[in-house]
Amino acid sequence: MSGDDPRKHTIAVLVENKFGVLSRVAGLFSARGYNIESLSVGETLDPTVSRMTLVVRGDDFVIEQVIKQLHKLIDVIKVTDLSEEDHVEREMLLLKVNAEPAARAEILRIGDIFRAKVVDVTPTSYTLEATGEEGKIEAIIELLRPFGIQEVVRTGKVAIARSPKNRVRKVEETLGKRPGPPRPQSQDPKVVGFAD
Amino acid sequence: MLESLKREGVDLIFGLPGGAVLPIYDALYDFEGIRHVLVRQEAAAGHAAEGYSRTTGRVGVCLVTSGPAATNLVTALQDALMDSIPLVAFTGQVPTHLIGNDAFQEADNVGITRSATKHNFLVKDGDDLAGTIKEAFFLAKSGRPGPVHVDLPKDILVKEWDFDYPSTVHLRSYNPTYEGHPGQIKKAARALVRAKRPVLYVGGGAISADAAPELRELAELTEIPVTQTLMGLGAFPMAHPLSLDMLGMHGTYYANMAVHHSDVLMAVGARFDDRVTGRVDAFSPNAQIIHVDIDPSSISKNIPVAIPIVGDCKRVLVKLLEAVREELKSYPAGAIREARRQWTEQIAEWRRDQPLRYEWSEDVIKPQYVMEELSTLTNGEAFMVTGVGQHQMWAAQYYRFKHPRMWCTSGGLGTMGYGLPTAMGVQAGNPGRLVVNVDGDGSFQMNSQELATCHEERLPVKTVIINNGGHGMVRQWQKIIYKERFCAIDLGPSPDFVKLAEAYGCTGIRATKPSDVVPALEKMISTPGPVVVDVWVDKHECVFPMVPAGGANTDMIVAPPSREVRDRAAKSQTGF
């Protein structure tokens, strides 16, 4: 079947916040042989609705089927291919790296460049927290690799469309939920400061 | 719970009791208005519900217990899923506080049936039971129909709760599209009217939507020949001059040629299954494809579609008829017929050159002959059910179908053993009618225990076993593609199906030579109660025409291939 070259798509899926929904979505991907690169789930403003962010690789033809098959699941409310519109993507990383005395300053400097935060410290290690696009997360891992990384945890991608007129937002409104009061801005300037 | 079922109009349940569902059976003891048919194995309950559903147009219901009963049922659920048959299946489950404890007869039922159903539920609270049942029935029959599974822990069945049966269901996440897009319908109408070589390709969806009358009207109005899939048989009368009969792997030569050479191909409730398309890149290469389907994910799944119309086949066809009539106004009367003449002649030529045919024998019974005689004797008016294998294809090819909802076969999943239990369900849903199960000796033995159900429940199913002493379809492939290296296909002369039938209290009849066939079938039809006719057929007979797996529909083999062709086939991975 023709189609463009496979590329990554970020797909936002609004689902009923019910037990078993995650396994329905995960099961769909394994049953139909689609490749899922990351998946993250969280509640939305409406506690009965969860939002999943999926990263899937495939050509246009595969992605069309992925979206249709997701739609076919009874508990899926809305599917949006964010790659089709202007959007912001972020991923969070927690990384535990060896930090011998000679290396400590250098590690902190690298962390600073990436606006990472030290969230745990021992005489021989640092645990860093960093947020950003996939490229940034991969870059920080590469730069810290020579020091000896003990453990890495990534959340998987979350994404949101940029325009206030985006479709996902509209759906949340039609669900009978007005957008809540503005959330307090994060007190952490390093995270907020990374807006681009 | 039984009250909820009654509110849904359920009058028949196929089931088998066990520990976890005993509370339901206890209630059934003196509950009026629901008949329970006790099957001998749980998959049979599912298949029987399928047969009931397909032929009555209602939701089939089955009820089995936890653990092994639920896992036995899975095959029937997957079968119903692939053939879009609306079922609601209830299984028992261990009490909620024991779930996950590896309790006796516990299995993760909803985990297991998740991918084998349209949707499933685990009811964790008795208060949710009525609402869940309502939703289950709604989901099963709406949109693209399918099986829905409801898992019932024992404790919620014994708890007293207020009965409040909801009258409507609203699911914000589920809104099937029923009305086709008017713009697309108009486009389709224009394409159909302007086409020079159009073909209608009709599947089981047209039957689910009860769209047969509209389909016929459209075909006659626009003079378009109609081919049907295995699941679609009966949607269009085969005796009709516009009928091309079945297409696909074992379809007719003229149907496959017509589809291949068409310039506009309109699929109605069909899903471009690999058994229909053959090699996808060689399927109907020059056609503009119109696809009417209730399920958007069926559209452009295997074959790119030029004019997709998502909607209920019946409603779309009603609108399409209007649009076609509008379009025809600008044409003089008779112009359509004139424009189609060359195409009609071409199809007639294909039909003349390569009709369905087999070699007659005086000594040994040809299975195709049995089907022809069965079709004649029943005048195409019997409910027909099959197992899976060669006999299924011969039944599909040689039985002259007249009406929709009178044919049940396992199309998508190809479940051997489907025949007898399904026929039982058909008979239970259509008392007093003639129900014939055409089965193979291999397929029949996968569920032959249900003869006991037929006898005990007074379900006079007539079974015709096309007995070739082995797994004929496998033999056919080994013969044609695997250099006659026959392996694991012989089933031997046992059992004696006549004695087997008699052991179950049924009537057994045997036919061993061609002159036995008609008397045996006549006796079968006139004998009351369940009957098994054991027909010894030519074990070397193959189903033709045949499109080898991985081949294009134009690679169709219409007769036994020569040695050169077989040698060539053996050299390639996929054959031919």
Instruction: State both tokens at B440.
Output: 């193979």
Q: Which helix (H) or strand (E) segment is B204 a member of?
A: helix B204-208
Q: Does residue B326 carry a catalytic annotation?
A: no
Candidate from A19, A64, A77 with C-beta closest to B173: A77
Do A27 and B139 make contact, defined as CB atoms within 8 angstroms? no
User: Searching chain A, which residue's CA lies closest to the CA of residue B176?
Assistant: A72
**Whole-number Å distance between alpha carbons of B316 and B200:** 14
Digit-coded pLDDT (tens) for B386-440: 999 999 999 999 999 999 999 999 999 999 999 999 999 999 999 999 999 999 9
Question: What's the mean pLDDT in B83-106?
Answer: 96
pTM: 0.91
- CA B446, B448, B451: angle at the middle one, nearest 5? 155
What pLDDT is recorded for position B276? 93
- Domains of chain B, by residue range, sit at 2-158, 182-353, 367-536
> Minimal Cα–Cα distance from B301 to chain A, Å?
7
- Residues B256-315: pLDDT tens digits? 999 999 999 999 999 999 999 989 999 999 999 999 999 999 999 999 999 999 999 999
**Is B154 a residue of the active site?**
yes
The predicted structure's pLDDT at residue B254: 96
Residue A102 has pLDDT above 90, yes or no: yes
Answer whether residue A184 shows pLDDT above 80: no
Residue of B105, B346, B449, B478 marked active site:
B105
Portion of chain A with pLDDT greater than 70, in percent: 81
d(CA B435, CA B226): 26
Cβ contacts (< 8 Å) between B108 and chain A: which residues? Answer: none
Q: Is B473 designated active site?
A: yes
Q: Which of B118, B134, B154, B462 is catalytic?
A: B154
According to the model, what pLDDT value does residue B372 have? Answer: 96
Kindly state which CATH superfamily the domain B182-353 is placed in.
TPP-binding domain (3.40.50.1220)
pLDDT of residue A183: 45
- Which pLDDT score is estimated for B565? 64
CB hemisphere CA count around B455 (13 angstroms): 17
Mean pLDDT of chain B: 94
The pLDDT, as a whole number, for residue A195 is: 32
Secondary structure of residue B453 in the 3-state scheme: helix
Q: pLDDT at position A191, please?
A: 33
On the question of pLDDT at B571 being above 80, the answer is no
Mutate to test the interface with A, among B117, B297, B299, B300 (most CBs of A within 10 A): B297
* Run of H or E including B509: strand B507-511
Structure tokens at A112: 């600073």
Residues in chain A: 196
Which residues from B are below 8 Å from A65, CB to CB? 297, 301
pLDDT tens for each residue of B326-351: 999 988 878 888 888 999 999 999 99
Q: Which helix (H) or strand (E) holds A125?
A: strand A125-132
User: Which chain B residue has its CA at the smallest distance from A29's CA?
Assistant: B115
Active-site residue (options: B104, B342, B359, B483) = B104
Q: List C-alpha distances in Å: B387 to B100, B275, B444, B493.
A: 37, 17, 7, 19
A20 touches B at CB < 8 Å? yes
Q: How confident is the model at residue A66 (pLDDT cuts 50, 70, 90)?
A: very high
What is the 3-class SS of B351-420, one letter each residue?
HHHCCCCCCCCCCCECHHHHHHHHHHHHCCCCEEEECCCHHHHHHHHHCCCCCCCCEECCCCCCCCCCHH
Provide the pLDDT for residue B158: 86
CB atoms B115 and A27 under 8 Å: yes
d(CA B296, nearest CA chain A) in Å? 7
Q: Starting from the edge strand earliest in sequence, which strands make up the sheet with B35-38, in order?
A: B35-38, B12-16, B60-64, B87-93, B147-153, B119-122
ipTM for the complex? 0.89
Using CB atoms, pick whichever of A64, A76, A175 lies closest to residue B300: A64
Pick among 3.40.190.10, 3.40.250.10, 3.40.50.970, 3.30.565.10: CATH of B367-536: 3.40.50.970
Residue B562 pLDDT level (bands cut at 50, 70, 90):
low
CA atoms within 13 A on the CB side of A52: 26
- Of the candidates B122, B173, B296, the beta carbon closest to that of A74 is on B173
Which pLDDT score, from 0 to 100, does residue A9 have? 95
- At B454-463, the pLDDT tens digits run 999 999 999 9
Window from A158-167, A184-193, B68-77 with minimum mean pLDDT: A184-193
Task: Give mean pLDDT, residues A120-142.
Answer: 96
- Per the CB < 8 Å rule, is A23 touching B114? yes
Average pLDDT over residues B138-157: 96
Choosing from B82, B238, B406, B473, which is the catalytic residue?
A: B473
Of B192, B188, B240, the closest CA to residue B212 belongs to B240
Mutate to test the interface with A, among B99, B169, B173 (most CBs of A within 10 A): B173
The answer to whether residue B559 scores a pLDDT higher than 80 is: no
Share of chain A above pLDDT 90, in %: 72
pLDDT of residue A1: 43
Instruction: Categorize the per-residue pLDDT at A190 as very low, low, confident or very high, splitting at 50, 70 and 90.
Output: very low
For the A88-154 domain, the top CATH level (class) is alpha beta
Residues within 8 A of B (CB atoms), A 44-83 only: 61, 64-65, 68-69, 71-72, 74-77
| A20 with B122: Cβ contact below 8 A | yes
Least confident of A21-30, A164-173, B282-291: A164-173
How far is residue B94 CA from its own chain's centroid?
34
What pLDDT is stored for residue B164 in this prediction? 84
Q: What integer pLDDT is reported at residue B494 of this predicted model?
A: 84
- The minimal CB distance from B297 to the residues A15, A65, A175 is found for A65
Q: Mean per-residue pLDDT for B76-91?
A: 98
What are the residue ranges spanned by the domains of chain A?
A: 7-84, 88-154
- Average pLDDT value for residue range A146-171: 81
| CATH class label, B2-158 | alpha beta
> Which of the listed CATH numbers 1.10.240.10, 3.30.70.260, 3.30.420.40, 3.40.50.460 matches domain A7-84?
3.30.70.260
- B317 pLDDT tier (thresholds 50, 70, 90): very high
Shortest CA gap A28–chain B (Å)? 8
pLDDT digits (tens, 9 = 90+) for B42-78: 999 999 999 999 999 999 999 999 999 999 999 999 9
User: Of chain A residues 22-41, which have a CB less than 8 A from chain B?
Assistant: 23-24, 27-28, 31
Q: Residue B173: which of A19, A23, A75 has the nearest Cβ?
A: A75
